Amino acid sequence: SVAACPSGSICNNTLGSFECGCPPGYDGTPGNCTECEARTYELAGVCVSCPTGSDSPRGSAEVEACVCLAGYTGPAGGMCVACAAGSFKAGNGSAPCEACPAGSYLNVTGGTQCSACPANTHSPAPQTSAASNATNARVLGSDDITDCICNVGFEGSDGAACAACAEGKYKPINGSSECIECAPG
Reported as a single tens digit per residue, the pLDDT across 26-39 is 999 888 899 999 99
* pLDDT (0 to 100) of residue 50: 96
* pLDDT (0 to 100) of residue 7: 80
What residues contact 142, with CB distance under 8 A and at least 6 apart?
86, 100, 104, 105, 106, 123, 124, 148
Relative to beta strand 32-35, strand 40-43 is unpaired
CA 21 to chain centre: 37
Q: How confident is the model at residue 124 (pLDDT cuts 50, 70, 90)?
A: confident
**Residue pair 141/128 in contact by the 8 Å Cβ criterion:** no
> Which whole number is the average pLDDT over 41-46?
93
* pLDDT (0 to 100) of residue 139: 67
- Residue 101 in this model has a pLDDT that exceeds 80: yes
* pLDDT (0 to 100) of residue 98: 93
- Residue 169 in this model has a pLDDT that exceeds 70: yes
Q: How confident is the model at residue 75 (pLDDT cuts 50, 70, 90)?
A: very high
What value does the CA radius of gyration of the chain take, rounded to a whole number of Å? 28
Q: What is the pTM of this model?
A: 0.78
Percent of the chain with pLDDT over 90: 72
What residues contact 181, with CB distance under 8 A and at least 6 apart?
168, 169
Cβ count near 46 (within 10 Å): 12
